[in-house]
């Protein structure tokens, strides 16, 4: 997103509504934010073209898909030069991978995974991560429960 994109209160209302329910129709969205449907369509198109809205995602229940065990793998790699892109590519190729984060601090990456069970998680960690020559350390943290935050909006400025 370009840093010079100006978001007015109507844009923020549109973003809030769509983040709460991305399947909202344009007509419903326009009514919720108090503008004409044609204006709403133009504003959403502008938010997409400027990169504020990146897309629409489908959330799925990992347990319903046979992957009830979720974990965060904190991974340290050595050396750093030349291995970051191949490592990320490898991590994203694993069917258990939900997200990969490049970090600062003691660990270089955090990989969110969803596995069928403890033995599948163990196989993933041992065969797909610790066996790689650039991986110096993996520590695993199980996720018991997860909560989603509310809509993401720009920080408010205090006067």
Q: Indicate the pTM of the whole model.
A: 0.86
Q: Assign domain 63-143 to its CATH architecture.
A: 2-Layer Sandwich (3.30)
Which part of the chain is CATH 3.30.70.920?
Answer: 63-143
Start-to-end Cα distance in the chain: 25
Task: Give the up-direction half-sphere exposure of residue 76: CA atoms within 13 A in the CB hemisphere.
Answer: 7
> Average of pLDDT values for 103-112?
97
> Average of pLDDT values for 91-110?
97
Task: Band the pLDDT of 52: cuts 50, 70, 90.
Answer: very high
Which part of the chain is CATH 1.10.10.10?
Answer: 9-49
Query: pLDDT tens for residues 125-154?
Result: 999 999 999 999 999 999 999 999 999 999
Fold of 9-49: Arc Repressor Mutant, subunit A (1.10.10)
């Amino acid at each position: 997103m370009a840093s010079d994109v100006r978001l007015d209160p109507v844009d923020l209302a549109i973003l809030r509504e769509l983040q709460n329910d991305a399947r909202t129709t344009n007509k419903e969205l326009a009514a919720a934010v108090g503008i004409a449907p044609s204006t709403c369509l133009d504003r959403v198109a502008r938010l997409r073209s400027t990169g504020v809205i990146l897309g629409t995602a489908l959330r799925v229940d990992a347990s319903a898909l046979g992957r009830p065990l979720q974990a965060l793998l904190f991974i340290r790699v050595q050396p750093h030069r030349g291995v970051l892109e191949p490592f990320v590519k490898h991590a994203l190729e694993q069917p258990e991978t939900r997200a990969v984060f490049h970090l600062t601090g003691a660990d270089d990456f955090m990989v969110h995974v969803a596995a069928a069970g403890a033995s599948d998680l163990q196989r993933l960690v041992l065969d797909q991560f610790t066996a790689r020559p650039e991986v110096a350390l993996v520590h695993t943290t199980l996720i018991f429960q997860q909560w989603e935050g509310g809509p993401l909006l720009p920080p408010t400025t205090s006067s």
